[in-house]
Chains A and B, each alone.
Chain A
């Protein structure tokens, strides 16, 4: 069973608009959440993270929101740029395990 779920396999957004990528988790022991971006033929690149003691973390154009009661997090990218086109993975850690648990990813396409 998938403990981290990204229910949208793909998302298309116009350049300059806001991109919102969603992620749900089922394991209440997760206490740290991360977003990675991946281009084809490259390894995932770390974008932004959030601890379970916070509900928001911002870094430039990227903001991650965490709703613990709903077991939901989202990544906001504003404004979206063509270079943001990539696959975005949500990941979580906790419950004494140090390996990350990843979702299946969302392919973000920024339209000119």
Chain B
């Protein structure tokens, strides 16, 4: 399977704990995106990378959120001091650079529940 993969698929944590999610993009894609989706809403853009450079951050990405893509391959999204409002599905997507196609291909997501 050469699609986008995400781990873990589910995460339950207590308020105040830190969590980290991983995304492995499609191997030839140099762009990687993070989105968050809550019930009844469409995915909301958080941030994206071109290779290892983080090029854009949404205002939704508070200081408690940090994303990395150290070698331009997989990426991690960390949430520090989780709050109940962080409960959501966290989606990763990858794409080729503009000029080669704008379509973003999504992984299955990580569902976070903060208790």
Contact = CB atoms under 8 A, between A and B. Distances in A.
B106 interface: yes
Interface residues of A, number: 23
The A interface is mostly helix, strand or loop, or mixed, namely: strand
A26 interface: no
Contact of B44 (A32, A45, A49, A102): A102
Interface stretch (A11-19, A65-73, A93-101): A93-101
Interface residues of B, number: 28
A104 to B, nearest CB: 5
Contact of A34 (B56, B58, B102, B109): B102
A44 to B, nearest CB: 5
Given A46-B105, A98-B48, A104 B56 contact: no
Interface in B31-64: 31, 33, 35, 40-48, 55-56, 58
B104 A100 contact: yes
B4 interface: yes
A43 B4 CA distance: 10
Nearest to A94: B102
A42 B48 contact: no
Nearest to A87: B42
A103 B56 contact: no
Given A100-B43, A102-B43, A43 B104 contact: no
Interface in A54-112: 89, 91, 93, 97-105
Interface of B: 4, 6, 31, 33, 35, 40-48, 55-56, 58, 91, 93, 98, 102-109
